[in-house]
Amino acid sequence: MSADQFNSTKVLSNYPCAHRQWRHDGNCALVHGYSRSFEFIFGAHTLDKCGFVVDFGDLDWLKDYLTYWYDHTLLLMPDDPVLEQFKQLELAGACALRLAQYGVGMEGTAQQVGEYADATLRQRTKGRAWVRSVEARENDKNSAFWYNPQDKFQGWL
């Protein structure tokens, strides 16, 4: 058996999240939302003691992260010109703000989730397993991918 041959996928879905792309010239500048979903492709050189790349029953850390960021939340950019007004709405209990590190779109979402999941999975498995890619989906029509630049075997993707 050669290295890099083990892969598995996991879909985590139904994260109702709103966002605002304030730089957009059209409707995306308005607060709007979707039920986001994520597909992870995991890789490993070796399987764990149960024969898994990743034990899907041990992904609460990832589910908790996705819930914090994307379950009934409002994503904004840190430089949104009306951020202070949204902060007041949060203080009044009208929204749960999250400031998006890489952007509020699916591209930035995929990168943020991918980097977090990869670093955490590598730490939890002592480097045995990692995230190869993440697809962040905002609906059935639109998605974006993040491919791990540390994954040296991407030919199959």
Express each pLDDT in 56-93 by its tens digit.
Answer: 999 999 999 999 999 999 999 999 999 999 999 999 99
The helix/strand/coil state of 31 is coil
What pLDDT does 4 receive? 55
The helix/strand/coil state of 48 is coil
**CA-to-CA distance for 124 and 63, rounded, in angstroms?**
15
pTM of the model: 0.93
What pLDDT does 154 receive? 54
- Say which residues have a Cβ less than 8 Å from residue 14's Cβ, sequence separation at least 6: 35, 37
Quote the tokens at residue 101.
Answer: 């590190």
**CA-to-CA distance for 40 and 12, rounded, in angstroms?**
8
